[in-house]
Amino acid sequence: MTIRAATPDDLDLLLSLVERLERELPPLPYAEDPVEVERTKIERMVTDGVALLAEDGGKPIAYALARYGDHGPTTVYVTDLWVDASHRGRGLGRELLARVAEAASARGCTHLLLDVDSRNREAVAFYERFGFEEDSRILRTALDGLLAAPSEPGESIGAVHVQTDDAESVERVVDDYLPRVLRGATATVERGRAWTVVRLDRFDRGVLRKLGLELSFRFGVTVVLALEESAVVRFVIHDRGRMIDEYLSLPEYYGPLPPGDVLALRANPTVVARLTGAQAAHVRAVAQTGASAADLPAPDELYAQVAEALGLTP
């Protein structure tokens, strides 16, 4: 087996190897470069970059392409690295990277950069074994979505439900505490048979949560129940100043989360039943989570169903 620098006479061969590499990768969500554009890029790397071919008995079995200048004067960017399946696991990929590094070092470079499809887990694991670390993340979306008129978030509504019928005492605490967390805010306190309800004059998720925590120190169990942005249902239960359970109908509505955090945002029916008097089976049936809105009832319906299951007035 030999590794040599590619020459202009190898352009057609390199193009065929690029095609073999692309057939092995997950389908791209965008159109690939036309052949003539791809050929021009490869020609540039052959003449003013790094282009290596590995051959066994005259048959091409691997290649690497890299270019300079795309990411600053001290970084070489590897665009392609491919080894035929019959020759993998023998150190050939590492050898090609080492040859690229030698050529780039002679030119004054100090770092090597490449990108890899995050779905190509075999390739990701290969590079990580040699000390590669994630430096940046490329995000992609269709232009149609960006060009469409942006939609405004829907209305948010919600309240703190305090497990007491002593509305006067709740009102005194609210009047004392609320101005400290939101200047100019006012609240309405409504007496119920088992729960006293506190509603802000303007919805603020953070203030509702703080208010629920503060009231739980004084009265025991509180439930913050809200329909946020007309899209997602949340409840947070406190008991004696401790957050006991939190539920969010679409756990990743506000952004990606680690798997453990997604699981933590599922309702705990047993705990909810113990603190609110609800039936655990009913809570389990109603307080479902989903990856998208299509997995769940309409948000306003789910909001009403969760409130009914907890014995609250939405």
Check pLDDT > 90 for residue 23. no
Helix (H) or strand (E) holding 2: strand 2-5
Label residue 7 by pLDDT band (50, 70, 90).
Answer: very high
| Interacting residues of 100 by C-beta distance below 8 A, sequence separation 6+ | 50, 52, 64, 66, 76, 78, 112
Quote the pTM value.
Answer: 0.56
Domain ranges of the chain: 2-143, 157-310
pLDDT value of residue 15: 92
Q: pLDDT tens across 131-181, in order?
A: 898 887 777 777 776 677 666 789 999 999 999 999 999 999 999 988 887
Check pLDDT > 90 for residue 253. yes
Q: How far is the C-alpha of 48 from the C-alpha of 122, rounded, in Å?
A: 30
Q: What residue has token string 């699981």?
A: 263
Calculate mean pLDDT across residues 241-270: 94
Two structure tokens written together for 294: 């299509």
Q: Is 313 left (phi over 0), alpha (psi -120 to 50) or beta?
A: beta
Q: Is 184 left (phi over 0), alpha (psi -120 to 50) or beta?
A: left
pLDDT value of residue 266: 96
CB 299 within 8 A of CB 231: yes
User: How does DSSP assign 41-94, residue by residue?
Assistant: HHHHHHHHSEEEEEEETTEEEEEEEEEEEBTEEEEEEEEEEEE-GGGTTSSHHH
Check pLDDT > 60 for residue 35. yes
pLDDT value of residue 29: 56
pLDDT value of residue 145: 66
Q: How far is the C-alpha of 282 from the C-alpha of 23, rounded, in Å?
A: 50
Check pLDDT > 60 for residue 201. yes
Pick the CATH number of 2-143 from 1.10.3720.10, 3.60.10.10, 3.40.50.1970, 3.40.630.30: 3.40.630.30
pLDDT value of residue 193: 83
pLDDT value of residue 86: 92
Q: How far is the C-alpha of 213 from the C-alpha of 24, rounded, in Å?
A: 54
More confident residue, 25 or 243: 243
Label residue 246 by pLDDT band (50, 70, 90).
Answer: very high
Strands 50-56 and 59-69: antiparallel
Q: How many residues does the chain have?
A: 314
Numbers of helices and strands, H then E, in the chain: 11, 11
Check pLDDT > 80 for residue 183. no
Work out the angle at residue 201's Cα, subtended by the Cα atoms of residues 199 and 202, and round it to the nearest 5 degrees: 105
Residue 172 dihedral angles phi and psi, to the nearest 5°: -65, -40
**For residue 112, which of 91, 135, 90 has the smallest C-alpha distance?**
135
According to DSSP, the residues that pair with 63 across neighbouring strands are: 53, 82
Check pLDDT > 80 for residue 48. yes
Q: How far is the C-alpha of 151 from the C-alpha of 67, rounded, in Å?
A: 42
State whether residue 154 is helix, strand or coil: coil
Calculate mean pLDDT across residues 28-56: 84
Calculate mean pLDDT across residues 249-275: 94
Q: pLDDT tens across 92-144, in order?
A: 999 999 999 999 999 999 999 998 887 778 888 889 988 898 887 777 777 77
Q: How far is the C-alpha of 30 from the C-alpha of 40, rounded, in Å?
A: 20
